[in-house]
Structure 1
Amino acid sequence: MAERHVAPWVKTALELGPVALFFVGYLLLRDRSFDVGGTEYSGFILMTALFVPLLIVTTLILWRLTGKLSKMQIVTLVLVVVFGGLTVWFNDERFFKMKPTLIYLIFGTILGVGLLRGQSYLRLVMDEMVPLDAAGWMILTRRFTALFFGLAVANELVWRTMSTAAWVNFKTFGLTAAIFLFFVFQGKLFEKHGTGKDDRDGD
Protein backbone atom coordinates (compact mmCIF):
# COMPACT_ATOMS: atom_id res chain seq x y z
CA MET A 1 0.00 0.00 0.00
CA ALA A 2 1.48 3.35 -1.04
CA GLU A 3 2.11 5.90 1.69
CA ARG A 4 -0.41 8.73 1.81
CA HIS A 5 -0.30 12.05 3.62
CA VAL A 6 -2.92 12.98 6.23
CA ALA A 7 -3.49 16.15 8.21
CA PRO A 8 -0.95 16.41 11.06
CA TRP A 9 -3.68 16.90 13.65
CA VAL A 10 -5.39 13.69 12.58
CA LYS A 11 -2.15 11.71 12.89
CA THR A 12 -1.42 13.26 16.29
CA ALA A 13 -4.94 12.55 17.54
CA LEU A 14 -4.71 8.90 16.52
CA GLU A 15 -1.28 8.46 18.08
CA LEU A 16 -1.85 10.33 21.35
CA GLY A 17 -5.61 9.93 21.75
CA PRO A 18 -5.51 6.48 23.39
CA VAL A 19 -2.86 7.60 25.89
CA ALA A 20 -4.83 10.74 26.77
CA LEU A 21 -8.05 8.75 27.22
CA PHE A 22 -6.24 6.21 29.40
CA PHE A 23 -4.95 9.02 31.62
CA VAL A 24 -8.35 10.73 31.95
CA GLY A 25 -10.12 7.42 32.53
CA TYR A 26 -7.63 6.41 35.19
CA LEU A 27 -8.11 9.70 37.04
CA LEU A 28 -11.87 9.10 37.08
CA LEU A 29 -11.72 5.43 38.09
CA ARG A 30 -8.53 5.06 40.14
CA ASP A 31 -10.37 4.94 43.48
CA ARG A 32 -13.03 2.51 42.29
CA SER A 33 -13.12 -1.25 41.83
CA PHE A 34 -15.39 -3.31 39.61
CA ASP A 35 -16.73 -6.84 39.98
CA VAL A 36 -16.63 -8.70 36.66
CA GLY A 37 -17.63 -12.35 36.69
CA GLY A 38 -16.90 -12.63 40.39
CA THR A 39 -13.43 -11.10 40.11
CA GLU A 40 -12.64 -7.63 41.41
CA TYR A 41 -10.70 -5.34 39.08
CA SER A 42 -9.24 -1.93 39.89
CA GLY A 43 -9.83 1.15 37.76
CA PHE A 44 -6.29 0.77 36.39
CA ILE A 45 -6.98 -2.76 35.16
CA LEU A 46 -10.28 -1.70 33.63
CA MET A 47 -8.66 1.19 31.75
CA THR A 48 -5.92 -1.15 30.54
CA ALA A 49 -8.60 -3.50 29.19
CA LEU A 50 -10.11 -0.57 27.29
CA PHE A 51 -6.77 0.89 26.19
CA VAL A 52 -5.58 -2.22 24.33
CA PRO A 53 -8.47 -2.52 21.80
CA LEU A 54 -8.58 1.27 21.46
CA LEU A 55 -4.90 1.35 20.47
CA ILE A 56 -5.47 -1.50 18.01
CA VAL A 57 -8.34 0.41 16.37
CA THR A 58 -6.49 3.75 16.17
CA THR A 59 -3.37 2.05 14.80
CA LEU A 60 -5.41 0.29 12.10
CA ILE A 61 -7.11 3.60 11.21
CA LEU A 62 -3.69 5.27 10.99
CA TRP A 63 -2.47 2.48 8.72
CA ARG A 64 -5.54 2.77 6.49
CA LEU A 65 -5.15 6.54 6.22
CA THR A 66 -1.39 6.68 5.67
CA GLY A 67 -0.74 3.29 4.09
CA LYS A 68 2.26 2.81 6.37
CA LEU A 69 3.24 1.97 9.95
CA SER A 70 6.73 2.46 11.36
CA LYS A 71 8.58 -0.45 12.94
CA MET A 72 8.37 1.41 16.25
CA GLN A 73 4.58 1.62 16.00
CA ILE A 74 4.30 -2.08 15.20
CA VAL A 75 6.59 -3.16 18.05
CA THR A 76 4.78 -0.86 20.47
CA LEU A 77 1.38 -2.24 19.44
CA VAL A 78 2.53 -5.85 19.85
CA LEU A 79 3.96 -5.17 23.31
CA VAL A 80 0.84 -3.28 24.39
CA VAL A 81 -1.35 -6.21 23.33
CA VAL A 82 0.89 -8.77 25.05
CA PHE A 83 1.53 -6.92 28.30
CA GLY A 84 -1.92 -5.35 28.43
CA GLY A 85 -3.42 -8.78 27.92
CA LEU A 86 -1.28 -10.27 30.69
CA THR A 87 -2.25 -7.40 32.99
CA VAL A 88 -5.96 -8.10 32.54
CA TRP A 89 -5.64 -11.89 32.45
CA PHE A 90 -3.67 -12.10 35.70
CA ASN A 91 -5.33 -9.01 37.20
CA ASP A 92 -1.84 -7.68 37.90
CA GLU A 93 -0.93 -4.11 36.91
CA ARG A 94 2.81 -4.82 37.09
CA PHE A 95 2.81 -6.32 33.59
CA PHE A 96 1.55 -3.10 32.01
CA LYS A 97 4.00 -1.02 34.02
CA MET A 98 6.90 -3.12 32.71
CA LYS A 99 5.91 -2.53 29.09
CA PRO A 100 7.74 0.83 28.61
CA THR A 101 10.89 -0.70 30.08
CA LEU A 102 10.87 -3.50 27.53
CA ILE A 103 10.08 -1.13 24.66
CA TYR A 104 13.00 1.15 25.50
CA LEU A 105 15.35 -1.79 26.07
CA ILE A 106 14.45 -3.25 22.67
CA PHE A 107 14.98 0.03 20.82
CA GLY A 108 18.16 0.79 22.74
CA THR A 109 19.56 -2.67 22.01
CA ILE A 110 18.70 -2.46 18.30
CA LEU A 111 20.44 0.91 17.99
CA GLY A 112 23.38 -0.37 20.03
CA VAL A 113 23.84 -3.37 17.74
CA GLY A 114 23.87 -1.01 14.78
CA LEU A 115 26.53 1.14 16.43
CA LEU A 116 28.70 -1.92 17.02
CA ARG A 117 28.45 -2.58 13.30
CA GLY A 118 29.35 1.02 12.51
CA GLN A 119 25.83 1.82 11.26
CA SER A 120 23.01 4.14 12.27
CA TYR A 121 19.78 2.16 12.28
CA LEU A 122 18.09 5.34 13.48
CA ARG A 123 18.78 6.90 10.09
CA LEU A 124 16.73 4.18 8.42
CA VAL A 125 13.55 5.34 10.15
CA MET A 126 14.17 9.07 10.61
CA ASP A 127 16.16 10.10 7.53
CA GLU A 128 13.21 11.89 5.93
CA MET A 129 12.42 13.83 9.11
CA VAL A 130 15.93 14.83 10.23
CA PRO A 131 18.41 15.61 7.42
CA LEU A 132 21.90 14.99 8.86
CA ASP A 133 25.28 13.98 7.47
CA ALA A 134 26.75 10.56 8.28
CA ALA A 135 28.72 11.78 11.30
CA GLY A 136 25.65 13.53 12.68
CA TRP A 137 23.58 10.37 12.43
CA MET A 138 26.17 8.37 14.37
CA ILE A 139 26.26 10.98 17.14
CA LEU A 140 22.46 11.20 17.32
CA THR A 141 22.18 7.41 17.37
CA ARG A 142 24.60 7.15 20.29
CA ARG A 143 22.60 9.76 22.17
CA PHE A 144 19.30 8.02 21.40
CA THR A 145 20.74 4.72 22.58
CA ALA A 146 21.73 6.30 25.89
CA LEU A 147 18.29 7.95 26.13
CA PHE A 148 16.41 4.70 25.63
CA PHE A 149 18.44 2.84 28.24
CA GLY A 150 18.07 5.79 30.61
CA LEU A 151 14.29 5.85 30.17
CA ALA A 152 14.14 2.09 30.77
CA VAL A 153 15.97 2.51 34.08
CA ALA A 154 13.79 5.50 35.03
CA ASN A 155 10.58 3.57 34.33
CA GLU A 156 11.76 0.66 36.48
CA LEU A 157 12.64 2.97 39.36
CA VAL A 158 9.30 4.79 39.22
CA TRP A 159 6.94 1.83 39.02
CA ARG A 160 8.86 -0.22 41.58
CA THR A 161 9.25 2.55 44.18
CA MET A 162 6.26 4.84 43.68
CA SER A 163 2.47 4.63 43.62
CA THR A 164 0.41 3.71 40.58
CA ALA A 165 -0.81 7.31 40.34
CA ALA A 166 2.80 8.54 40.27
CA TRP A 167 3.64 6.03 37.53
CA VAL A 168 0.66 7.06 35.38
CA ASN A 169 1.74 10.70 35.63
CA PHE A 170 5.32 9.74 34.83
CA LYS A 171 4.24 7.62 31.85
CA THR A 172 1.88 10.27 30.48
CA PHE A 173 3.93 13.40 31.07
CA GLY A 174 7.41 12.51 32.32
CA LEU A 175 8.50 10.27 29.46
CA THR A 176 6.99 12.63 26.87
CA ALA A 177 8.73 15.63 28.43
CA ALA A 178 12.04 13.76 28.55
CA ILE A 179 11.91 12.98 24.82
CA PHE A 180 10.85 16.56 24.01
CA LEU A 181 13.73 18.02 26.03
CA PHE A 182 16.11 15.55 24.41
CA PHE A 183 15.27 16.97 20.98
CA VAL A 184 15.52 20.54 22.26
CA PHE A 185 19.09 19.93 23.39
CA GLN A 186 20.07 18.53 19.98
CA GLY A 187 19.93 22.00 18.41
CA LYS A 188 23.70 22.39 18.10
CA LEU A 189 24.00 18.94 16.56
CA PHE A 190 21.37 19.78 13.93
CA GLU A 191 23.13 23.07 13.15
CA LYS A 192 26.57 21.50 12.81
CA HIS A 193 25.63 18.34 10.95
CA GLY A 194 22.39 19.32 9.22
CA THR A 195 22.17 19.02 5.45
CA GLY A 196 19.68 19.99 2.77
CA LYS A 197 17.15 17.38 1.76
CA ASP A 198 18.99 16.80 -1.48
CA ASP A 199 22.48 16.99 -0.02
CA ARG A 200 22.94 14.03 2.27
CA ASP A 201 26.13 12.09 2.74
CA GLY A 202 26.05 8.35 2.36
CA ASP A 203 27.12 5.99 5.13
Structure 2
Amino acid sequence: MEGAGEKRREQSVLKLILELGPLLIFFLVNARADNWDLKRFGLFQHVAEKDVGIMAATGAFMTATILALTISLILYRRVPVMPLVSGVIVVAFGGLTLYLQDDLFIKLKPTIVNLMFAAALLGGLFLLKRPLLGIVFDGVLQLDEEGWRKLSLRWGLFFLFLAALNEVVWRSFSTDTWVTFKVFGTMPITILFTLCQLPLIQRHALPQN
Protein backbone atom coordinates (compact mmCIF):
# COMPACT_ATOMS: atom_id res chain seq x y z
CA MET A 1 0.00 0.00 0.00
CA GLU A 2 2.83 2.38 0.84
CA GLY A 3 4.43 1.72 -2.54
CA ALA A 4 1.16 2.42 -4.32
CA GLY A 5 0.75 5.68 -2.41
CA GLU A 6 4.27 6.75 -3.32
CA LYS A 7 3.59 5.96 -6.96
CA ARG A 8 0.40 8.06 -6.93
CA ARG A 9 2.29 10.98 -5.39
CA GLU A 10 4.98 10.74 -8.07
CA GLN A 11 2.32 10.68 -10.79
CA SER A 12 0.59 13.72 -9.25
CA VAL A 13 3.87 15.66 -9.18
CA LEU A 14 4.60 14.71 -12.80
CA LYS A 15 1.12 15.77 -13.93
CA LEU A 16 1.56 19.09 -12.11
CA ILE A 17 4.90 19.64 -13.86
CA LEU A 18 3.36 18.85 -17.24
CA GLU A 19 0.54 21.32 -16.61
CA LEU A 20 2.59 24.15 -15.10
CA GLY A 21 5.79 23.66 -17.10
CA PRO A 22 4.59 25.39 -20.31
CA LEU A 23 3.24 28.35 -18.30
CA LEU A 24 6.52 28.80 -16.43
CA ILE A 25 8.44 28.64 -19.71
CA PHE A 26 6.06 31.26 -21.14
CA PHE A 27 6.81 33.56 -18.20
CA LEU A 28 10.59 33.00 -18.19
CA VAL A 29 11.05 33.54 -21.94
CA ASN A 30 8.93 36.70 -21.87
CA ALA A 31 10.92 38.00 -18.88
CA ARG A 32 14.38 37.21 -20.27
CA ALA A 33 13.98 37.65 -24.03
CA ASP A 34 15.30 41.22 -23.97
CA ASN A 35 18.67 39.88 -22.81
CA TRP A 36 19.04 37.38 -25.65
CA ASP A 37 19.32 39.74 -28.65
CA LEU A 38 16.70 37.79 -30.57
CA LYS A 39 16.45 40.47 -33.26
CA ARG A 40 19.55 38.96 -34.89
CA PHE A 41 17.50 35.91 -35.88
CA GLY A 42 15.45 36.07 -39.06
CA LEU A 43 12.24 35.09 -37.29
CA PHE A 44 12.30 38.28 -35.21
CA GLN A 45 13.88 40.77 -37.59
CA HIS A 46 10.55 42.23 -38.63
CA VAL A 47 9.01 42.15 -35.14
CA ALA A 48 8.75 45.44 -33.26
CA GLU A 49 11.29 45.66 -30.45
CA LYS A 50 8.59 45.89 -27.79
CA ASP A 51 6.90 42.71 -29.08
CA VAL A 52 9.94 40.44 -29.31
CA GLY A 53 9.49 39.11 -25.77
CA ILE A 54 5.84 38.10 -26.12
CA MET A 55 6.42 36.61 -29.60
CA ALA A 56 9.36 34.51 -28.37
CA ALA A 57 7.37 33.49 -25.28
CA THR A 58 4.41 32.48 -27.44
CA GLY A 59 6.58 30.25 -29.63
CA ALA A 60 8.15 28.66 -26.54
CA PHE A 61 4.70 28.22 -24.97
CA MET A 62 3.39 26.41 -28.05
CA THR A 63 6.43 24.13 -28.20
CA ALA A 64 6.31 23.31 -24.48
CA THR A 65 2.56 22.65 -24.64
CA ILE A 66 2.92 20.20 -27.53
CA LEU A 67 5.79 18.48 -25.70
CA ALA A 68 3.79 18.19 -22.47
CA LEU A 69 0.75 16.73 -24.28
CA THR A 70 3.01 14.26 -26.10
CA ILE A 71 4.63 13.13 -22.85
CA SER A 72 1.19 12.70 -21.25
CA LEU A 73 0.05 10.58 -24.18
CA ILE A 74 3.17 8.40 -24.02
CA LEU A 75 3.05 7.90 -20.24
CA TYR A 76 -0.70 7.59 -19.66
CA ARG A 77 -1.97 6.51 -23.11
CA ARG A 78 -4.45 9.38 -22.95
CA VAL A 79 -4.66 13.15 -22.59
CA PRO A 80 -7.27 14.65 -20.21
CA VAL A 81 -9.99 16.64 -21.94
CA MET A 82 -9.28 20.04 -20.38
CA PRO A 83 -5.50 20.12 -21.07
CA LEU A 84 -6.16 18.82 -24.59
CA VAL A 85 -8.70 21.54 -25.40
CA SER A 86 -6.46 24.20 -23.87
CA GLY A 87 -3.45 22.87 -25.79
CA VAL A 88 -5.25 22.93 -29.14
CA ILE A 89 -6.27 26.55 -28.58
CA VAL A 90 -2.74 27.47 -27.46
CA VAL A 91 -1.40 26.16 -30.77
CA ALA A 92 -4.16 27.77 -32.84
CA PHE A 93 -4.09 31.21 -31.19
CA GLY A 94 -0.33 31.11 -30.73
CA GLY A 95 0.03 30.40 -34.43
CA LEU A 96 -2.16 33.41 -35.25
CA THR A 97 -0.12 35.55 -32.85
CA LEU A 98 3.15 34.66 -34.60
CA TYR A 99 1.78 34.75 -38.15
CA LEU A 100 0.05 38.12 -37.75
CA GLN A 101 2.58 39.45 -35.21
CA ASP A 102 -0.30 40.50 -32.99
CA ASP A 103 -0.33 39.45 -29.33
CA LEU A 104 -4.10 39.98 -29.14
CA PHE A 105 -4.69 36.33 -30.04
CA ILE A 106 -2.56 34.79 -27.30
CA LYS A 107 -4.15 37.20 -24.81
CA LEU A 108 -7.62 36.09 -25.91
CA LYS A 109 -6.76 32.40 -25.50
CA PRO A 110 -7.61 32.18 -21.74
CA THR A 111 -10.89 34.02 -22.35
CA ILE A 112 -11.90 31.63 -25.15
CA VAL A 113 -10.91 28.49 -23.21
CA ASN A 114 -12.74 29.55 -20.05
CA LEU A 115 -15.85 30.54 -22.00
CA MET A 116 -15.84 27.16 -23.73
CA PHE A 117 -15.61 25.29 -20.43
CA ALA A 118 -18.32 27.51 -18.92
CA ALA A 119 -20.59 26.95 -21.91
CA ALA A 120 -20.08 23.19 -21.73
CA LEU A 121 -20.85 22.96 -17.99
CA LEU A 122 -23.72 25.44 -17.86
CA GLY A 123 -25.14 24.25 -21.17
CA GLY A 124 -25.04 20.69 -19.90
CA LEU A 125 -26.95 21.70 -16.78
CA PHE A 126 -29.61 23.91 -18.31
CA LEU A 127 -29.98 22.54 -21.85
CA LEU A 128 -29.06 18.86 -21.59
CA LYS A 129 -30.10 18.56 -17.94
CA ARG A 130 -26.87 16.67 -17.26
CA PRO A 131 -23.93 17.64 -15.02
CA LEU A 132 -21.12 17.07 -17.51
CA LEU A 133 -18.46 17.53 -14.84
CA GLY A 134 -19.46 14.10 -13.57
CA ILE A 135 -18.42 12.57 -16.89
CA VAL A 136 -14.99 14.23 -16.81
CA PHE A 137 -14.14 13.45 -13.19
CA ASP A 138 -16.14 10.28 -12.59
CA GLY A 139 -12.96 8.22 -12.21
CA VAL A 140 -11.57 10.67 -9.62
CA LEU A 141 -14.63 11.64 -7.58
CA GLN A 142 -17.74 9.66 -6.68
CA LEU A 143 -20.59 12.06 -5.92
CA ASP A 144 -24.37 11.84 -5.90
CA GLU A 145 -26.38 13.56 -8.64
CA GLU A 146 -27.06 16.68 -6.59
CA GLY A 147 -23.36 17.01 -5.79
CA TRP A 148 -22.39 16.87 -9.46
CA ARG A 149 -25.06 19.47 -10.33
CA LYS A 150 -23.87 21.90 -7.68
CA LEU A 151 -20.21 21.38 -8.52
CA SER A 152 -20.86 21.80 -12.25
CA LEU A 153 -22.77 25.04 -11.62
CA ARG A 154 -20.02 26.43 -9.41
CA TRP A 155 -17.25 25.55 -11.87
CA GLY A 156 -19.27 26.91 -14.78
CA LEU A 157 -19.68 30.26 -13.01
CA PHE A 158 -16.02 30.21 -11.96
CA PHE A 159 -14.91 29.77 -15.58
CA LEU A 160 -17.06 32.78 -16.51
CA PHE A 161 -15.31 34.73 -13.75
CA LEU A 162 -11.86 33.72 -15.05
CA ALA A 163 -12.82 34.76 -18.58
CA ALA A 164 -14.00 38.18 -17.38
CA LEU A 165 -10.92 38.60 -15.18
CA ASN A 166 -8.59 37.84 -18.08
CA GLU A 167 -10.34 40.46 -20.20
CA VAL A 168 -9.96 43.09 -17.46
CA VAL A 169 -6.26 42.35 -16.92
CA TRP A 170 -5.07 42.28 -20.54
CA ARG A 171 -7.11 45.34 -21.48
CA SER A 172 -6.06 47.37 -18.42
CA PHE A 173 -2.40 46.52 -17.89
CA SER A 174 0.85 45.98 -19.77
CA THR A 175 1.72 42.75 -21.55
CA ASP A 176 4.33 41.88 -18.91
CA THR A 177 1.76 42.36 -16.14
CA TRP A 178 -0.71 40.17 -18.01
CA VAL A 179 1.89 37.39 -18.44
CA THR A 180 2.76 37.54 -14.73
CA PHE A 181 -0.92 37.41 -13.79
CA LYS A 182 -1.56 34.51 -16.17
CA VAL A 183 1.19 32.42 -14.55
CA PHE A 184 1.14 33.51 -10.90
CA GLY A 185 -2.38 34.87 -10.49
CA THR A 186 -4.77 32.48 -12.20
CA MET A 187 -3.32 29.31 -10.67
CA PRO A 188 -3.52 30.42 -6.99
CA ILE A 189 -7.07 31.69 -7.56
CA THR A 190 -8.02 28.33 -9.08
CA ILE A 191 -6.39 26.37 -6.25
CA LEU A 192 -8.20 28.50 -3.66
CA PHE A 193 -11.53 27.99 -5.43
CA THR A 194 -10.90 24.23 -5.61
CA LEU A 195 -10.17 24.05 -1.88
CA CYS A 196 -13.40 25.93 -1.17
CA GLN A 197 -15.32 23.11 -2.90
CA LEU A 198 -14.07 20.43 -0.48
CA PRO A 199 -16.99 20.80 1.97
CA LEU A 200 -19.49 20.31 -0.87
CA ILE A 201 -17.57 17.28 -2.14
CA GLN A 202 -17.49 15.77 1.35
CA ARG A 203 -21.24 16.29 1.85
CA HIS A 204 -22.16 14.61 -1.43
CA ALA A 205 -19.48 11.91 -1.63
CA LEU A 206 -20.83 8.40 -2.17
CA PRO A 207 -19.79 5.67 0.27
CA GLN A 208 -16.70 3.77 -0.89
CA ASN A 209 -17.28 0.08 -1.53
**Fold equivalence (TM over 0.5):** yes
2:102 aligned counterpart, secondary structure = coil
1:83 to 93, 98, 101: 93
Query: What do the CA deviations read for 1:133-185 (whole angstroms, capped 9, x no partner)?
Result: 11011000000010001110110111011111211111112111111111111
Residues 33, 163 of structure 1: alpha-carbon distance in 2 compared, 3 angstrom cutoff: farther
| Greater displacement, 50-59 / 140-149 | 50-59
Partner of 1:194: 205
Contact 1:18 1:51 in 2 (8 A): yes
Contact 2:25 2:60 in 1 (8 A): no
1:72 to 71, 82, 90: 82
Measured after TM superposition, the shift of residue 31 of structure 1 is 7.4
Q: Percent identical across equivalent pairs?
A: 34
Question: What are the within-5 Å matches in structure 2 for residues 1-203 of structure 1?
Answer: 7-29=11-33, 34-35=38-39, 36-37=41-42, 38-40=45-47, 41-116=51-126, 117-198=128-209
The structure with the greater share of residues assigned to helix is: 2
Say what the alpha-carbon RMSD is for the aligned residues: 1.8
2-side partners of 1:7 and 1:111: how far apart?
27
1-side partners of 2:208 and 2:35: how far apart?
52
1-side partners of 2:130 and 2:110: how far apart?
25
Quick one: which amino acid aligns to residue 182 of structure 1?
F
Give unmatched runs, 5+ long, in structure 1: 199-203
2-side partners of 1:164 and 1:187: how far apart?
35
2-side partners of 1:171 and 1:31: how far apart?
22
2-side partners of 1:186 and 1:197: how far apart?
19
2:140 aligned counterpart, secondary structure = coil
Residues 32, 97 of structure 1: alpha-carbon distance in 2 compared, 3 angstrom cutoff: farther
Contact 2:107 2:170 in 1 (8 A): yes
1-side partners of 2:101 and 2:137: how far apart?
38
| Greater displacement, 97-106 / 159-168 | 159-168
Contact 1:22 1:51 in 2 (8 A): yes
Contact 2:25 2:64 in 1 (8 A): no
Contact 1:111 1:141 in 2 (8 A): yes
Q: TM-score, normalised by structure 1?
A: 0.88
Quick one: which amino acid aligns to residue 16 of structure 1?
L
Measured after TM superposition, the shift of residue 8 of structure 1 is 2.4
Q: TM-score, normalised by structure 2?
A: 0.86
Contact 1:32 1:42 in 2 (8 A): no
Partner of 1:201: none
